[in-house]
Amino acid sequence: MTDLAPHCGPTAGDAPVSHPSNAPIPPGTTTPAYHYDLASVRSAHARLRTWLPQPSELYYSLKANPHPVVVSALYGLGCRAEVSSPGELDAALEAGVPPRDIFYTGPGKRDEDLGKALAAGVRDFAVDSEHGVAQLGQAAARHGAHVTYLLRVNPGGGSRGAGLRMTGSPSAFGADAEDIAARPQRYMGGEHARIGGLHLYLATNIADEEALADSFSEAIGVARALREALPGPLHTIDLGGGFAAPYARAGDLPAYPQLADRLTSELDANLPGWRQNAPTIAFESGRYLTATCGRLLTRVLDVKKSHGQRVVVLDAGINHLGGMAGLRRVPPLHPDVVRPDDTPAADAATGHSAPEGPAMICGPLCTPLDTWARSHPLPAVVPGDLLVVPNTGAYGLHASLALFLGHPAPLEVVTESGVVLRSDRLAFVRRDD
């Protein structure tokens, strides 16, 4: 993450992003726990809004954090909910999002999942293939429903810049742009499910403003080409996302001060009518909206020297954060583990004086995989000390291996202005299906 430039927009982009990692933590606080602060969700939303051309819609991708109170706050700010599983659908409904404001995406949908969404009243979907078009049409017909879908597109060329490239190569995501242009009738749908627009999601987590703008430019160009190829109006062009956020490391949300101006002129040139919502332009974000709202609270369980190395065992591990990194499926994650600002240093309280410096940071699971870092800076700590991993509001608990080895789930606490709105714990129960 290189783009941590100071804020330079003239409006709400300048608003300081609140750092919940600085909020006081009462003594005796339960750990492990994820704490999410709504003030930070609101300021991240205001900031992202200033980077986007207007008018435009913004979807919140529940996969970053489907906690119903968080989803409800973002819905209240105007974000429709983008879901891609029955569990995320339930979370959106529990959050009070009306079914008409839920957008159901995903490259492989089971018939029963579509049925459940249709029965709940969802009418907006994304499809990724010719089969997806037919499958949705049949499901909608069974429910006597009329739905529209955005056709997800896999463009011919990849987007420039950093981040995970999702396009330009074989992928579960989207239908090939070339095929849509060559055989448009296959993708138009029928009586019960009709195309309503295009869904382009080309990249994720791009902190560099120019690279992100380039990826949106590519999406706009593809949308223009396909609008000419596809008969009939496309009401919505979802340009996707890619807005970056710090992940389990200290740092601020990146700024994109030139993005709105650049996209405004490209939209004027390529999709005239967008200013009158013809088509409606939409964007999507998960991590930008929620990463900075969350912190993971963990306690030190043990500290020892092992073959000359300081080893610190915490009560949170790869089951609660970075599980996929812990299993080496994605690049390793080295979370920052810091003292909450208000916690008196344990060495001051106890006279203990272990030096600060790198430590091997382990979780409590009985596997050597449960290691966040082999050698990473960590304050002097003793068992019982409370530590914090910042910026874990996105892809924290909900991208974890929480079921791993039967430990209880961390608490989830959502606060606003210091008031606890909800404090609860996911329970994993075995039940007959």
Ligand X SMILES: *Cc1c(COP(=O)(O)O)cnc(C)c1O
Q: How far is the CB of 34 from ligand X (least distance, A)?
A: 17
Considering only the stretches 199-207, 271-279, 351-359, 376-384, report the one whose residues sit in contact with ligand X under the rule CB under 6 A: 199-207
Neighbour-count burial of 410, counting CB atoms closer than 10 A to its CB (0-12 exposed, 13-18 middle, 19+ buried):
buried
DSSP code, position 384:
T
Give the SS3 label for residue 182: helix
Considering only the stretches 46-54, 58-66, 269-277, 422-430, report the one whose residues sit in contact with ligand X under the rule CB under 6 A: 58-66
- Binding of ligand X at residue 236 (CB under 6 A)? no
- Binding of ligand X at residue 238 (CB under 6 A)? no
Q: How far is the CB of 77 from ligand X (least distance, A)?
A: 16
- Binding of ligand X at residue 201 (CB under 6 A)? yes
| C-alpha–C-alpha distance, residues 396 and 322, integer Å | 7
Beta strands in 39-146 (DSSP E): 57-61, 80-83, 102-104, 124-127
| C-alpha–C-alpha distance, residues 5 and 289, integer Å | 18
- Binding of ligand X at residue 47 (CB under 6 A)? no
- Binding of ligand X at residue 285 (CB under 6 A)? yes
- Binding of ligand X at residue 124 (CB under 6 A)? no
Q: Which residues contact 177 (CB under 8 A, 6 or more apart)?
A: 153, 154, 155, 156, 222, 225, 226
Considering only the stretches 177-185, 210-218, 261-269, 286-294, report the one whose residues sit in contact with ligand X under the rule CB under 6 A: 286-294
| C-alpha–C-alpha distance, residues 360 and 284, integer Å | 37
| C-alpha–C-alpha distance, residues 303 and 150, integer Å | 53
| Closest to ligand X by CB, 31 or 173 | 173
How many residues touch ligand X under the rule CB under 6 A: the total is: 16
- Binding of ligand X at residue 241 (CB under 6 A)? yes
| Closest to ligand X by CB, 125 or 201 | 201
The residue of the chain with the least Cβ separation from ligand X equals: 286
Neighbour-count burial of 228, counting CB atoms closer than 10 A to its CB (0-12 exposed, 13-18 middle, 19+ buried):
exposed
Neighbour-count burial of 408, counting CB atoms closer than 10 A to its CB (0-12 exposed, 13-18 middle, 19+ buried):
exposed
Q: How far is the CB of 203 from ligand X (least distance, A)?
A: 9
- Binding of ligand X at residue 63 (CB under 6 A)? yes
Give the SS3 label for residue 76: helix
Q: How far is the CB of 82 from ligand X (least distance, A)?
A: 6
Q: How far is the CB of 133 from ligand X (least distance, A)?
A: 18
Q: Which two tokens stand for residue 209?
A: 């403003």
- Binding of ligand X at residue 393 (CB under 6 A)? no
Quick count: other Cβ atoms within 10 Å of Cβ 187? Answer: 23
| C-alpha–C-alpha distance, residues 174 and 106, integer Å | 9
- Binding of ligand X at residue 61 (CB under 6 A)? yes
Q: How far is the CB of 312 from ligand X (least distance, A)?
A: 30
Compute φ and ψ for 422, nearest 5 degrees.
-165, 140
- Binding of ligand X at residue 31 (CB under 6 A)? no
| Closest to ligand X by CB, 212 or 394 | 394
- Binding of ligand X at residue 284 (CB under 6 A)? yes
Among 50, 56, 159, 205, which residue interacts with ligand X (rule: CB under 6 A)?
A: 205
Q: How far is the CB of 287 from ligand X (least distance, A)?
A: 4
Nearest to 132 by CA among 62, 66, 180: 180
> What distance, in Å, lies between the first and last C-alpha atoms of the chain?
44
- Binding of ligand X at residue 204 (CB under 6 A)? yes
| Closest to ligand X by CB, 286 or 323 | 286
Considering only the stretches 179-187, 198-206, 292-300, 313-321, report the one whose residues sit in contact with ligand X under the rule CB under 6 A: 198-206
Compute φ and ψ for 309, nearest 5 degrees.
-110, 140
- Binding of ligand X at residue 391 (CB under 6 A)? no
- Binding of ligand X at residue 132 (CB under 6 A)? no
- Binding of ligand X at residue 292 (CB under 6 A)? no
Q: Are 413 and 35 in contact (CB under 8 A)?
A: yes
Q: How far is the CB of 134 from ligand X (least distance, A)?
A: 21
- Binding of ligand X at residue 64 (CB under 6 A)? yes
DSSP code, position 191:
S
Binding residues (CB under 6 A) for ligand X: these are: 61, 63-64, 82, 105, 201, 204-205, 241, 243, 284-288, 394
